[in-house]
Structure 1
Amino acid sequence: MAEAQLHDFPSLFSLKGKVAVVTGGSRGLGLHAASAFLQAGASTVFISSRKAGACDAACEALNALPNLAPGARAVPVPADSASQQGVLQLVAGVRQHTDKVDILFANAGASWGEAFDKHLDQAFAKVMDLNVKAVFNTIREFTPLLEKAAQASGDGQPSKVIITASVAGLGIGTLGKQGTYGYSASKAAVIHLGRNLAVELGPRRITVNSICPGFFPSKMSNGLLSLSGGADKMAQGNPMRRLGHPEDIAGAVVYLASRAGSHVNGEAIAIDGGALWSRGELQRGGESKL
């Protein structure tokens, strides 16, 4: 039967020959994603963050992976994407190597925790600037390279933008003495920004989707994990009885970046084991983080 036929299923999740840019790629979720892109067949993955040494170390680790395609490589391009000048520096650094980008993973972000009555204006503004405005600037400046990749695609596949949001943008984040008000607001904003850009850029053959991780042990989340009673306690409160693993991020981003996700556009995918739906009652005082 014709319905049983699938076009080239073995390559459905392949990123063979693709070029990717990962902001905030020197550690945490960005590094997990970069590793996944390379191991799924990408030819080049550009790693960007503020610190040049961190970018170099990440690329060294990625290039030592044992199962990369011949010639595949991670390339450091340090830049501070919090500013427009930094975004332009990043684009210029990438353009030194290529004139097209198939995958843009807008992952750079920041958080700030403080009680509501003491929450600093400058802290709120810094988080909003990096988590929302910088994402918009990064996508805008990379759009010509994303369009070029889509035009060059021999199979008509779109280029892909993936934004790192958070389940804090889908529900309620941390309140109380370590309230992350700016972070939660910024992630809700960037999810909706992604939906707008999905409709704007779809006709240019660029999809835009967001991933919304829950708790993954990382430098950014470890402090909040500790304040919430530790990783074990948080894991037991999850329907899956664990926190996120690197492979959970890897699977989601490869799906969205590959041909498998080519008709997914404007979506926000929660990667949290169902924790968002299991919170019957919000716990205050730094004990709840979505």
Structure 2
Amino acid sequence: MSKTAEADVQLHDFRNIFSLSGKVAVVTGGSRGLGLHAASGLLQAGCSKVFITSRKAAACDAAVAALNALPNLAPGARAYSIPADSSNVSEIERLVTEVGKVTDHVDILFANAGATWGSEFLNVDEKNGWDRVMDLNVKGVFFCVQKFTPLLQKASSIPSPSRVIITASVAGIMVGSLGAAGAYSYAASKAAALHLVRNLAIELGPRNILVNGIAPGFFPSKMANVLMETQGGEEALGRANPNGRVGKPEDVAAAVVYLSSRASGHVNGDTIVLDGGKIWGSNALANVKL
């Protein structure tokens, strides 16, 4: 073999491409649902510290107890409970301070805390139907990223950037729920979250912080179950998807681990849609006789 041919077949070490060994993560809205699934994935992928936060202390403590009981954690790996209301900027600041008492840096911020509201169009009220949703899903996301940026910058570099992952929704891409369960503020807030991803990616990229989003479709959870029932239930919604099912815990855990790992080192300002092809396939499938 010639020297030129040898140069063309140089291989690289990809064995640890998804490893999060020693990484420090913060998960907002991490006490249940998608946040808890993601936290579990982060710990099992090698994170040394994962901070769980949500409004209710008891829920955070229960989640942390379950996470710390996982049988396959790295030696010394641990989840921490720090309850905080991510819709309140002073609470976010307190959260950052508390995290800073345990670690001098953060590698991964999963800004996942969110709320929804559903009602007839004419019954949407200002405080609960609009402000509460926007405060958590948009304002809370922005200021959570802003306040954590000093800790995210602390150990980041071009070869090893820190990560911000923002939970949006397919409701921010397509028309969301209308009618009796109209989620107008939720859909608008998730569209805003998607555009925050793009803007923050450009702002924070030069600081060695990559920003990406996930846009889940239907995943069984306390927040989604009521809406899922109004639309026919889990089985019917699964049959309507091109891949034949709704989301599973490992789907969101895998996406968050990927976006947190070396494997996504050249992904910035993008959003992974986790809906089994529903957005693009539902109308086509309606016209196909199987």
Q: Is TM more than 0.5 here?
A: yes
CA deviation vs aligned residue, 1:113-139 (integer Å, no higher than 9, x gap): 011111112221211111001000000
Q: Which residue of 2 aligns with 1:286?
A: none
Q: Cα RMSD between the aligned structures? A: 1.4
Q: Within 5 Å, give how 1:157-196 maps onto structure 2.
A: 157-196=160-199
Does residue 141 in structure 1 map to residue 147 in structure 2? yes
Task: Give the 3 Å change call, closer, same or farther, for CA 214–2 of structure 1 in structure 2.
Answer: farther
Q: Within 5 Å, give how 1:73-222 maps onto structure 2.
A: 73-122=78-127, 123-151=129-157, 156-222=159-225
CA distance in 2, matches of 1:274, 1:259: 26
CA distance in 1, matches of 2:8, 2:65: 45
Q: Within 5 Å, give how 1:219-230 maps onto structure 2.
A: 219-230=222-233
Among 26, 38, 44, the alignment partner of 1:39 is 44
Preserved contact between residue 241 and residue 282 of structure 2 (Cα < 8 Å): no
SS at match of 1:10: coil
Q: Which residue of 2 aligns with 1:55?
A: 60
Among 235, 238, 241, the alignment partner of 2:238 is 235
CA deviation vs aligned residue, 1:13-58 (integer Å, no higher than 9, x gap): 0000000000000000000000000000000000001111111110
Q: Which residue of 1 aligns with 2:25?
A: 20
Task: Give the 3 Å change call, closer, same or farther, for CA 2–135 of structure 1 in structure 2.
Answer: farther
Which residue identity lines up with residue 113 of structure 2 in the other structure?
A
Which residue identity lines up with residue 118 of structure 1 in the other structure?
N
CA distance in 2, matches of 1:5, 1:91: 44
Preserved contact between residue 105 and residue 154 of structure 2 (Cα < 8 Å): yes
**Where does the alignment leave 5 or more consecutive residues of structure 2 unmatched?**
1-5, 285-290
- How far residue 280 of structure 1 moved from its aligned partner, in angstroms, is 2.4
- How far residue 226 of structure 1 moved from its aligned partner, in angstroms, is 1.1
Preserved contact between residue 109 and residue 164 of structure 2 (Cα < 8 Å): yes
- How far residue 6 of structure 1 moved from its aligned partner, in angstroms, is 4.6
- How far residue 269 of structure 1 moved from its aligned partner, in angstroms, is 0.9
CA distance in 2, matches of 1:167, 1:280: 15
Which residue identity lines up with residue 279 of structure 1 in the other structure?
S
TM-score by length of 2: 0.93
Q: Which residue of 1 aligns with 2:287?
A: none
Q: Which runs of 4+ in 1 moved over 6 A?
A: none
- How far residue 85 of structure 1 moved from its aligned partner, in angstroms, is 1.0
CA distance in 1, matches of 2:61, 2:8: 48
Q: Which residue of 2 aligns with 1:278?
A: 281
CA distance in 1, matches of 2:7, 2:112: 41
CA distance in 2, matches of 1:102, 1:232: 38
SS at match of 1:87: helix
Pairs aligned (count): 279
- How far residue 204 of structure 1 moved from its aligned partner, in angstroms, is 0.4
TM-score by length of 1: 0.93
